[in-house]
Structure 1
Amino acid sequence: MSGTKEAPAPEPAVSEADQQIMDVINTVVSESFAKGTSAKFSLTAPDTLTVKKRDGTFAKKPHIGGEEFVCTGVYMGKRGKMIFQFQPTAAADYAQLELTEKQAQDLMGDFEAYAAQIIGRDLQLAKREAAEQSSLEAERAKLSDPSDVYSDLGFGSW
């Protein structure tokens, strides 16, 4: 056992709210990465983190802190959390570093401000607003057909 894992299972269903946020982040990140103007982030503390090797397998690698990375994308992980992908700016024996939203905010300097700048507001607030909006739309759709609401009022059931 070399400590590597196979690529993750297929991604779970993504809420519409999370998908909208991921689309915005991926668009901005990929455009800035293509232009070579990606924001650089450095690890603020030592930690053992998940990396994706060049052969597509995953492993845990120790980092000492201070290493620089650029954000290259985001996807929904198999546990339903956003996973941010970071490419090392210096030579490394792996292709990218993968961090959950919380890890990225805790370990990458200025990442929280960067994410807020991309989506125009705080990431958690944006997720809550999008989730509330999609639940309101679902409720409206449910109430749009009155036959569902008034199908069993109990009249004449005595």
Structure 2
Amino acid sequence: MSQKDDQKAADVTAFLLEAAEKADLTFNAPANVKLAIEREDGSFRKKPTLGGEEFLLQKVRIGARGKPIFRFEPADKQDYVAAEVELGKVGDEMPGFADWIVQLAESHGSRSTTLKSAYAFLELQAAKVAEQTAERAEQKRIEKAAEDYADNPNFGMF
């Protein structure tokens, strides 16, 4: 996995978490779906759901095969710490989340109707937001430096 992939995943995570937080969203897994869960000791296994378990989006990471993996934490105390779902399986394993991704893309101007194209659109949106945030931070840094130098009576003296 490259540093570029890590940055892309971090940008998408920030973008999705902000949107999910604004909407105060939890996502439900349907009954009898086998989710990849992470135990407290860090090991993974498949576990069938009872249906109705609520999850909060925790982050997005790029898996070993280069595909996005969504990490969810259970809203209520469980015998595991997280569930992970690949982009290709999210429609079956977290259908409400898949629908939300498509709706979120549409709300940002996408005409995407499939989960994969909506996610690709959101990756681009997240990159734009991250770039704008970095530009604003750089501008603030420049303004602060100019202010600091202007307030220093010894600046430019040799």
Please classify the TM superposition score into its range, dividing by the shorter chain length: 0.5 to 0.7
Q: Secondary structure at the match of 2:61?
A: strand
Q: Indicate which of 22, 26, 50 corresponds to 2:36.
A: 50
**What is the root-mean-square deviation in Å for CA atoms of aligned residues?**
3.2
Identify the structure with bigger relative contact order (alpha carbons < 8 Å, sequence gap 6+): 1
Q: Which deviations, in whole Å up to 9, do the C-alpha atoms of 1:85-111 show, x marking residues without a partner? A: 011112101110000112212221321
Q: 2:96 maps to what in 1?
A: 110
Q: Percent identity?
A: 30
Q: 1:67 maps to what in 2?
A: 53
CA offset at residue 47 of structure 1? 1.8
Instruction: Quickly say closer, same or farther: Cα 1:29–1:60, change in 2 above 3 A.
Output: same
Q: Secondary structure at the match of 2:91?
A: helix
Q: 1:88 maps to what in 2?
A: 74
1:13 matched to 2:5: no
Q: Secondary structure at the match of 2:88?
A: helix
CA offset at residue 19 of structure 1? 5.5
Q: Indicate which of 27, 32, 49 corresponds to 2:14.
A: 27
Q: Runs of 5+ in structure 2 lacking a partner?
A: 125-158
Q: Which deviations, in whole Å up to 9, do the C-alpha atoms of 1:40-59 show, x marking residues without a partner? A: 11112312221112222212
Q: What is the one-letter code of the residue matched to 2:97?
A: F
1:79 matched to 2:80: no
Q: Secondary structure at the match of 2:92?
A: helix
| In structure 1, C-alpha distance between the alignment counterparts of 2:102 and 2:3, rounded to whole Å | 21
Task: State the TM-score, normalizing by the size of structure 1.
Answer: 0.59
